[in-house]
């Protein structure tokens, strides 16, 4: 391997005994082999550690297993980032796979062609609850930072190859934000250099919809924390700030309407109004909220 391009694969693993082997097999199948694979066993209560140790005995991959108390995937990734020796970091979740054996090779070619690159992702295939499939195929361009202010344009964390020194300069993953925290890191990286995309499917992942009723307000709190951090990265006008808030809450408003959780919608709408003011009032979401708002006025009289 070229000493100028050394890849450390970073895998956080929590109760991943059923999936970690296939994830590692997808790394082993790469035509461009990483210099190391760092797995952080995040306090698993199953036999994840034993499965990994058995795998190490029978593979040529340079696997480093780190055991730690459960602290969540962001903390686990940060531990691995601190230990990584490669100048590029490739992230892979323990229940995802790289389903293109040329993933790292294709990414390395973009890095070689465009030296100002700090992050390269790929297209990804995402299964939701075993019922529907999404293809995430956003191609990155010059306005990555602006887009990341309102949505996550990275096709999957497991598709990301990023420059190690840039990730460390950005402070790694925020461990206080438990929902969407990766977007903050991507935004910080976008201020350091260019993003590019391998326009091929290279990642397969499975997602499960969180229950909106039980997690909606908790995730909204984390989204508020995320937006506050994003707004600290640059100076924005009042108009821009209100727009950023509205567009970040839009996802929650849509899901609450779709699921019929109108009490939750009222709570989210109230938070949105406080943060985005006139931007929310001029939106269609305010019209959906207006009947409940009027009813509450008369009820409280």
For 97, other C-beta atoms within 10 Å of its C-beta total 22
- Same-domain check for residues 273 and 151: no
CB atoms within 10 A of CB 276: 24
pLDDT of residue 294: 56
Among 278, 193, 267, residue whose Cα is nearest residue 241: 278
Is 168 found in the same domain as 68?
Answer: yes
* The predicted structure's pLDDT at residue 208: 63
**Domain identity same for 191 and 279:** no
User: Do residues 167 and 225 share a domain?
Assistant: no
> Residue 218: which domain range?
212-299
Note whether 254 and 247 are within 8 A (CB).
no
Kindly state whether residues 118 and 140 are assigned to the same domain. yes
Together in a domain, 90 and 193: yes
Question: 232 and 200: one domain?
Answer: no
Contact residues for 89 (Cβ-Cβ < 8 A; gap 6+) = 7, 8, 9, 10, 81, 160, 161, 162, 163, 164, 167
The low-confidence residues of the chain, meaning pLDDT below 70, are: 1-3, 130-132, 208-214, 292-301
Model pLDDT, residue 225: 97
266 and 242 co-located in one domain: yes
Residue 117, strand partner residues: 194
pLDDT of 282: 86
Q: Is residue 232 part of a domain?
A: yes
Residue 254 and residue 272: Cα distance in Å, rounded? Answer: 13
Q: Is residue 285 part of a domain?
A: yes
**Same domain, yes or no: 12 and 75:** yes
**pLDDT tens digits along 46-63:** 999 999 999 999 999 999
Q: What is the DSSP letter of 150?
A: T
| Domain-embedded: residue 255 | yes
146 and 244 share one domain: no
Residue 81 belongs to domain with CATH number: 3.90.550.10
Residue 2 forms part of a structural domain: no
Beta strands in the chain (DSSP E): 7-13, 36-42, 63-68, 88-91, 97-98, 117-128, 132-136, 161-163, 194-207
* Residue located via tokens 């990265």: 233
Instruction: Report if residue 45 sits inside a domain.
Output: yes
User: What is the model's pLDDT at position 128?
Assistant: 78
DSSP secondary structure letter of residue 158: G
Which of 184, 207, 230 terminates a domain? The answer is: 207
Shared domain for 63 and 202, answered yes or no, is: yes
Number of folded domains that form the chain: 2
One domain, residues 191 and 261: no
Examine the fold and report which residue of 207, 224, 240 is the final residue of a domain before the chain moves on.
Answer: 207
């Amino acid at each position: 391997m070229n000493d100028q391009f050394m890849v450390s694969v970073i895998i956080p693993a929590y109760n991943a005994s059923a999936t970690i082997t296939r994830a590692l097999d997808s790394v082993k199948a790469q035509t461009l082999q990483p210099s190391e694979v760092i797995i952080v066993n995040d306090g698993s209560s199953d036999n994840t550690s034993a499965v990994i140790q058995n795998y190490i005995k029978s593979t040529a991959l340079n696997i480093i297993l780190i055991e730690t108390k459960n602290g969540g995937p962001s903390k686990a990734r940060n531990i691995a980032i601190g230990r990584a020796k490669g100048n590029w970091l490739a992230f892979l979740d323990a229940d995802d796979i790289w389903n293109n054996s040329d993933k790292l090779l294709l990414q390395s070619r973009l890095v070689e062609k465009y030296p100002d690159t700090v992050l390269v992702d790929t297209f990804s295939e995402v299964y939701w609850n075993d019922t529907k499939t999404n293809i995430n195929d956003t191609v990155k361009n010059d306005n990555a930072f602006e887009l990341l202010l309102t949505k996550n344009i990275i096709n999957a964390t497991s598709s990301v190859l990023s420059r190690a020194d840039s990730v460390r300069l950005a402070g790694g993953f925020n461990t206080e934000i438990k929902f969407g925290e990766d977007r903050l890191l991507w935004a910080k990286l976008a201020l350091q250099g260019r993003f590019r995309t391998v326009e091929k499917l290279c990642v397969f992942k499975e997602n499960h919809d969180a229950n909106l009723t039980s997690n909606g307000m908790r995730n909204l709190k984390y989204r508020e924390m995320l937006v506050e951090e994003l707004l600290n990265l640059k100076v924005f006008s009042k108009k821009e700030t209100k727009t950023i808030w509205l567009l970040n809450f839009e996802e929650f408003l849509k899901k609450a309407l779709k699921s019929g959780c109108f009490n939750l919608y009222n709570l989210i709408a109230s938070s949105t109004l406080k943060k985005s003011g006139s931007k929310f009032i001029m939106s269609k979401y305010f019209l959906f909220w207006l009947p409940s708002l009027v009813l509450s006025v008369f009820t409280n009289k």
